[in-house]
């Protein structure tokens, strides 16, 4: 085995470990918990086609705490390239973001920080 093969293998292994660690939040928010108060509060802000309200886009994604609470806000339903939105709530419940993942190219964006007093539309289709 030559040095180049060893370096490439080491690099690819490191990259996959980083990608895995960054996506651990996805596994913890696999279903919508419709009865959770924060899900009820924020799920009207999002849908499978995107945001239903204007939210500030974070230019640089902050480091996410794996011990934080991750609440899935929606499912994509029958929309093939829809978005899944996950609410990130820090352990001290002072910081909240919405993570948008999916779409045509499988992009990920983060919106926030969100105000705990924020109200989302109850019936977003009737804007």
pLDDT at 93 over 80: yes
> Could you give phi then psi for residue 96, rounded to 5 degrees?
-135, 140
* 29-54 per-position pLDDT tens digit: 778 888 999 999 999 999 999 999 99
Which residue did the predictor score with more confidence, 2 or 84? Answer: 84
pLDDT in tens, 53-82: 999 999 998 999 999 999 999 998 888 889
Q: Which residues of 62-85 are buried (b: 16+ CB within 10 A; e: fewer)?
A: eebeeebbbbbbbeeeeeeebbbb
Q: Is the pTM of this model over 0.95?
A: no
pLDDT of residue 104: 82
pLDDT at 106: 82
């Amino acid at each position: 085995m030559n040095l180049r093969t060893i370096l490439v293998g080491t690099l690819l292994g490191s990259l996959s470990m980083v990608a895995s660690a960054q996506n651990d939040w996805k596994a913890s928010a696999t279903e919508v918990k419709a009865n959770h108060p924060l899900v009820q509060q924020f799920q009207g802000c999002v849908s499978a086609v995107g945001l239903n309200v204007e939210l500030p886009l974070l230019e640089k994604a902050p480091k996410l705490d794996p011990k934080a609470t991750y609440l899935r806000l929606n499912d994509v339903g029958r929309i093939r390239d829809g978005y899944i939105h996950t609410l990130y709530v820090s352990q001290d419940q002072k910081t909240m973001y919405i993570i948008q993942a999916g779409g045509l190219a499988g992009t990920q964006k983060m919106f926030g920080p969100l105000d705990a007093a924020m109200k989302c539309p109850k019936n977003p289709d009737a804007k």
